[in-house]
Amino acid sequence: MSDRPTSRTRRDFLRTGAIGAGAVTLATYATAPPAAVTTVRHWDDEADVVIMGSGAAGISAAIEASGRGVAVRVYEMLALAGGSSSLSGGVCYMGGGTPLQKALGFEDSTEDMYRFMVAASGVHAPLAKLQLYCEQSLAHFDWLVANGVEYSRRFSAEKELSHEEASLYFCGNERTHPYRELARPAPRGHVPPAKNQTGGRSLMQTLLASAQRHGVHVATGVTCERLVCASDGAVLGLEVRDARGKRNIRARKGVVLAAGGFIHNPEMLKKHAPELFPCAPHWGRAGDMGIGIRMGMSIGANVLHMHHGFAVLPLYPPENVLKGVVVNVRGQRCVAEDSYYGVIGHDLLFKQGGRGYLIVDRNSDYSAPDYRLVAAGEAPTIAALEAQLGLPPESLQQTVTYYNRFAERGEDPLLGKARDYLAPLIQQPFKAYDLGVDKAFYAVHTFGGLETTVNAEVVNAGGEIIPGLYAAGRTAAGIPVSPYYASGLSIGDATFFGRRAAMHAVARRA
Amino acid sequence: MRVLTALVALLSLAGAVLAEPPANAPADTPGDPVRGRQIFAPCRTCHYPEKGYGHHNGPSLFGVFGRRAGTQEGFLYYSETVKSSNLIWTPALLDAWLANPGSLLSGTNMMFVGIPDARDRADLIAYLAQFRDR
């Protein structure tokens, strides 16, 4: 108890973490305790559904609610709407035979999609959410298209979407062992065509325009500060603040917390996700301060997966480097090099202590120095490289000898790397790139958040639903868990469960 | 006029620094570009400094020092604030801005949490300065 910060110190560290964010006055990062409705003298404004945050989750909720004929308010803390979603790649993970998959000649089924997602999620798989997400994936595709999202009829065979005109690709670990044996692989990364991975900007421009057509106004520069609760714990509204001061907003049907994760709140990060803290970059817009999560916690909401995160170590492109081997500090291979880069990052960060090397020969090297990685050693023999790196004697030599023996035949009995990425490492110079957390480019953000039902209702620590409170996107513990096994899971989850929140709230009899 | 405003803002910032060291003071030794690579990593959420990589969510930062703010060709998403600022990016200006992003260019579309540590800023600037035509 003694080390629990008082609200005063909590406010202080949150302020320190903020250090101003562009033009926006972010003086208030504190999550104040909830207000009892008895202290609210009057409501300054009211609507059916009141939404905190204007990223993919908040805007999807706003469109869905508004489309069902109810009054909506959306509050965005920053000066610009769109959230971290608008800085993302804009990929949405969808399958089961979408019109785009079919048009491009790919077969897929809901069962294959579900089997893959469950297997790749591992022990943390949120089964009920995954089932619903897969069953309704085709309808979700139609919803995005109906709201103006445009996909081109072009497939890209690249592991990372660098093709600016393509809209469909294998965006995750579908073709990696053992998943390719468990479920028929299909390309499920759906992305609006965009240059330099700015699909997120395009996606959010489209969804924001649709929200506007639905009559939704996004109020920017407005910070949500407190939940207003009834004596029985039901959420009745929000206290917000902007340049004009404090206002109480009544939510007749529900409040949706869609305020992002907590990657930009260093104290929360150190406490809940210490593996992610030393990584650079912390990936997301300045609003990812964990404010929505803390507001939920302040009224007893349960949290899940708080240490989980997106940990992308982008070794590729180019894909030829994946013919090299990724080893830990014992000189042992630890993850199939053709894995999705979130899976490689996860393995090194969470299982190998944030240390390791990519070992390449002349044929599998990068063609030019690259900002993502720095060389840790270069030598004419593997033995000399092993000594340079200070690896245990003969460890790397054994690893490479074993790897080469099978790679020559196109086999990888240890990790099952696909044939396309197998080649013996024989051409000197041999090089090692440092995959240490303090040296390599690890893009990270958080997956932990409020526990929710399949209807995005927030659940308290006793397992009961908190009436009137919803959460979606990275404010909720959703479909993305560690390891992150495919691009588009986070945006897919945010858009889908943002809609679920609105559907349930609109139908709710408060 | 805006240049003047910005100058006043900078000078008042400098004044504040003199009165109350060292929080946001520029570092007094040259930056380390090698260390700066990692400090710059968060900027890559939106910016490429490499020649030929083009624009990302934000404009390319190739050759940024000496360039007038808001003038990278082909970047369509500048705020009016930046376009009309008449500021020239220099290491000193970037240092002051990164230390306190709210201090000038209020209304920019660029939103981030700032870099409070002077050493970090100096290293970042040294790294960024490498990306230019020689």
Q: Tens digit of pLDDT for each residue in A93-107?
A: 999 999 999 999 999
State residue B113's pLDDT score. Answer: 79
- Quick check: is B134 in a domain? no
**DSSP type of residue A350:** I
pLDDT of B4 strictly over 50:
no
Cα-Cα-Cα-Cα dihedral of B79, B84, B86, B91, to 10°? Answer: -10
Q: How many domains does chain B have?
A: 1
> What is the overall mean pLDDT for chain A?
93
Q: Tens digit of pLDDT for each residue in B37-92?
A: 999 999 999 999 999 889 999 999 999 999 999 998 899 888 888 888 889 999 99
pLDDT of B16 strictly over 50:
no
Among A200-204, A352-356, B22-26, name the one with the lowest average pLDDT: B22-26
Which pLDDT band, with edges at 50, 70 and 90, does A335 fall under?
very high
Three-state DSSP class for residue A320: helix
Q: Tens digit of pLDDT for each residue in A292-311?
A: 999 999 999 999 999 999 99
> What is the overall mean pLDDT for chain B?
82
Contacts of B113 in chain A (CB under 8 A): 17-21, 264, 286
Which chain A residue lies closest to B110 (C-alpha atoms)? Answer: A22
Among A80-89, A393-402, A468-477, B19-28, name the one with the lowest average pLDDT: B19-28
Distance from CA of A84 to the nearest CA of B (A): 10
Of B38, B111, B116, the CB nearest to A22: B111
- Three-class SS string for A379-407? ECCHHHHHHHHCCCCCHHHHHHHHHHHHH
Cβ of A25 within 8 Å of Cβ of B45? The answer is no
- Highest averaged pLDDT of the listed ranges A7-16, A37-46, A354-363: A354-363
Separation CA B107–CA B115 (nearest Å): 19
pLDDT of A483 strictly over 90:
yes
pLDDT of A427 strictly over 90:
yes
The arithmetic mean of pLDDT across residues B21-30, rounded, is 68
Q: Tens digit of pLDDT for each residue in A134-162?
A: 999 999 999 999 999 999 999 999 998 87
Report phi then psi at B26, rounded to 5. Answer: -60, 150
Report how far Cα A205 is from the mean position of its chain's Cα atoms: 19
State residue A289's pLDDT score. Answer: 94
Strand partners, A255: A50, A469
Which pLDDT band, with edges at 50, 70 and 90, does A433 fall under?
very high
State residue B13's pLDDT score. Answer: 43
Q: Greatest CA span in chain B, whole angstroms?
A: 44
Which chain A residue lies closest to B99 (C-alpha atoms)? Answer: A19
Q: What is the pTM of this model?
A: 0.90
The residue type found at A264 is H
- Quick check: is B105 in a domain? yes
The residue type found at A181 is E
Which pLDDT band, with edges at 50, 70 and 90, does A325 fall under?
very high
Task: Count Cβ atoms within 10 A of the Cβ of residue A396 and give its class: 0-12 exposed, 13-18 middle, 19 or more buried.
Answer: buried
Q: Give the DSSP H/E element, type plus range, for residue A120.
A: helix A110-121
Report how far Cα A340 is from the mean position of its chain's Cα atoms: 14
The arithmetic mean of pLDDT across residues A275-282, rounded, is 96
The arithmetic mean of pLDDT across residues B21-37, rounded, is 79
pLDDT of B12 strictly over 50:
no
Name the token pair of A34: 């909830």
Separation CA A153–CA A141 (nearest Å): 14
The second-level CATH assignment, the architecture, of A26-86+201-310+445-507 is 3-Layer(bba) Sandwich (3.50)
Which pLDDT band, with edges at 50, 70 and 90, does A510 fall under?
confident
Query: Which class is domain A314-434?
Result: alpha beta
Nearest CA to A397 out of A411, A379, A383, A384 is that of A383
Cβ proximity of A457 and A18 under 8 Å: no
State residue A39's pLDDT score. Answer: 83
pLDDT of A413 strictly over 80:
yes
Which pLDDT band, with edges at 50, 70 and 90, does B23 fall under?
low
- Quick check: is B21 in a domain? yes
pLDDT of A356 strictly over 80:
yes
Separation CA B33–CA B123 (nearest Å): 5
> For chain A, where do the domains classified as CATH 3.90.700.10 start and end?
314-434
The arithmetic mean of pLDDT across residues A276-289, rounded, is 94
Task: Count Cβ atoms within 10 A of the Cβ of residue A226 and give its class: 0-12 exposed, 13-18 middle, 19 or more buried.
Answer: buried
Three-state DSSP class for residue A122: helix
pLDDT of A191 strictly over 90:
yes
Of A22, A280, A287, the CB nearest to B102: A22
pLDDT of A252 strictly over 50:
yes
Separation CA A248–CA A243 (nearest Å): 14
Cβ of A264 within 8 Å of Cβ of B50? The answer is no
- Quick check: is B97 in a domain? yes
Contacts of B39 in chain A (CB under 8 A): 280
The arithmetic mean of pLDDT across residues A18-43, rounded, is 59
Among A35-39, A60-64, A241-245, name the one with the lowest average pLDDT: A35-39
Contacts of A283 in chain B (CB under 8 A): 42, 45
CATH number at residue B123: 1.10.760.10
Which pLDDT band, with edges at 50, 70 and 90, does A32 fall under?
low
Separation CA A372–CA B77 (nearest Å): 26
Q: Which of B72, B113, B128 to probe the A interface (max A CBs under 10 A)?
A: B113
Nearest CA to A401 out of A429, A381, A376, A371 is that of A381
Q: Tens digit of pLDDT for each residue in A116-130?
A: 999 999 999 999 999
Structural domain containing residue B9: 2-129
Of B38, B81, B103, the CB nearest to A280: B38
Residue with tokens 């103006």: A148
The length of chain A, given as a count of residues? 510
pLDDT of A480 strictly over 90:
yes
Separation CA A67–CA A71 (nearest Å): 10
Name the token pair of A280: 């650079």
Interface of A to B at Cβ within 8 Å reads 17-25, 78-80, 86-87, 195-198, 200-201, 264, 280-287, 371, 374, 438-439, 441, 443
State residue B1's pLDDT score. Answer: 37
The arithmetic mean of pLDDT across residues A241-265, rounded, is 96
Separation CA B96–CA B132 (nearest Å): 21
Interface of B to A at Cβ within 8 Å reads 37-39, 41-46, 48, 50, 53-57, 77, 81, 100-103, 105-114, 116
Cβ of A282 within 8 Å of Cβ of B81? The answer is no
State residue A136's pLDDT score. Answer: 98
Strands (E), A13-99: 35-36, 45-52, 72-76, 92-93
pLDDT of A115 strictly over 80:
yes
A460 or B14: which leads in pLDDT:
A460
